[in-house]
């Protein structure tokens, strides 16, 4: 692993596949021009705002999303993470899948979101992800890259479940990626503190691409795509607008923090 720039992209995706992919490519192009070698797209980057339409068009969105991720990685010679997108599952629902590919467009690892967002919020919004989404059945596998470090991936609601990230760090993760579409209501209180907690307790970098703004008349996301260092310091924050958080991932900083705070070596339970 060597020092490199990573980018967490921030989008306002809508129920328009072509529009979303065009927005994503503009941001990828900009991040590449700024020198990013690892670029990450948020959850639902290709379609957001109409769950019924997303479910009915799942196969189309899946194929377009995977083709886009692989094509962009090849075109811009980057490692690219495509946050959650729908993949038809055997039970008639869909998986919410994140896919990591290399600069040849080859799959490095994939992960189907395990923790599903079934929540009634005080602001009146109800989310029932399990109605259309099948929970994944396996922990994400850590991908080991000599150039980019050991990468563990997850998706959005997973960030509330520290045991997942503890397992990733036990498996050697140094960089944790959390593509998200965090609600505006929960995000204002929980998003940053959860990301910082996962970074601190696992002494890992956190890269968190995000959705922002309104995706239909009711659905609003928090934004604030972030990159956080292993000490919990926020290196970059995209704020509320479409754009990106971009920062250096530095192995010497990782080694320094793990040397000064060797908590991973002091685990008693697990």
User: pLDDT digit string (tens) for 62-119?
Assistant: 999 999 999 999 999 999 999 899 999 999 999 999 999 999 999 999 999 999 998 9
Q: How much is the mean pLDDT over the chain?
A: 95
Residue 222 pLDDT level (bands cut at 50, 70, 90): very high
Asked whether the beta carbons of 24 and 17 are under 8 A apart, the reply is no
pLDDT of residue 128: 86
Assign residue 156 a region (left: φ > 0; alpha: ψ between -120 and 50; beta: otherwise): left
User: pLDDT digit string (tens) for 174-214?
Assistant: 999 999 999 999 999 999 999 999 999 999 999 999 999 99
pLDDT of residue 39: 98
Tokens of 266: 């002091």
Residues 6+ apart with CB under 8 A from 208: 8, 159, 177, 178, 179, 180, 195, 225, 226, 227, 228, 245
pLDDT of residue 269: 86
What are the residue ranges of helices labelled H in 34-110? 51-56, 58-76
**Which residues have a catalytic role annotated?**
43, 113, 156
Q: DSSP code of 160?
A: G
In the chain, % of residues over pLDDT 70: 100
Does the pLDDT value for residue 270 go beyond 90? no
DSSP helix/strand/coil, 88:
strand
Question: pTM value?
Answer: 0.96
pLDDT of residue 237: 98
In order of their start, the domains of the chain are 4-266 (3.60.110.10)
Asked whether the beta carbons of 222 and 182 are under 8 A apart, the reply is yes
Label the pairing between strands 205-208 and 175-177: parallel
């Amino acid at each position: 692993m060597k020092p490199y720039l990573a980018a967490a992209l921030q989008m306002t995706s809508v129920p328009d596949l072509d529009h979303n992919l065009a927005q994503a490519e503009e941001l990828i192009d900009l991040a590449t021009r700024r020198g990013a070698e690892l670029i990450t797209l948020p959850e639902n980057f290709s379609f957001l705002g109409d769950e019924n339409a997303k479910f009915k068009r799942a196969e189309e969105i899946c194929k377009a999303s995977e083709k886009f991720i692989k094509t962009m990685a090849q075109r811009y010679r980057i490692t690219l993470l495509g946050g959650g997108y729908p993949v038809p599952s055997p039970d008639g629902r869909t998986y919410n899948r994140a896919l990591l590919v290399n600069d040849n467009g080859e799959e490095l690892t994939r992960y189907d979101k395990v923790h599903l967002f079934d929540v009634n919020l005080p602001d009146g919004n109800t989310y029932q992800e399990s109605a259309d989404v099948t929970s994944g059945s396996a922990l994400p596998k850590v991908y080991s890259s000599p150039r980019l470090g050991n990468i563990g991936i997850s998706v959005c609601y997973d960030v509330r479940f520290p045991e997942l990230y503890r397992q990733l760090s036990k498996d050697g993760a140094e960089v944790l990626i959390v593509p998200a579409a965090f609600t505006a209501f929960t995000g204002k209180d929980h998003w940053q503190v959860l990301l910082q907690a996962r970074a601190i307790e696992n002494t890992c970098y956190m890269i968190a691409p995000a959705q922002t703004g309104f995706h239909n008349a009711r659905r609003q996301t928090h934004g604030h795509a972030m990159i956080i260092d292993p000490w919990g310091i926020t290196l970059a924050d995209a704020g509320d607008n479409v754009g990106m958080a971009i920062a250096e991932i530095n192995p010497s900083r990782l080694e320094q923090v793990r040397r000064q705070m060797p908590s991973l070596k002091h685990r008693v339970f697990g």
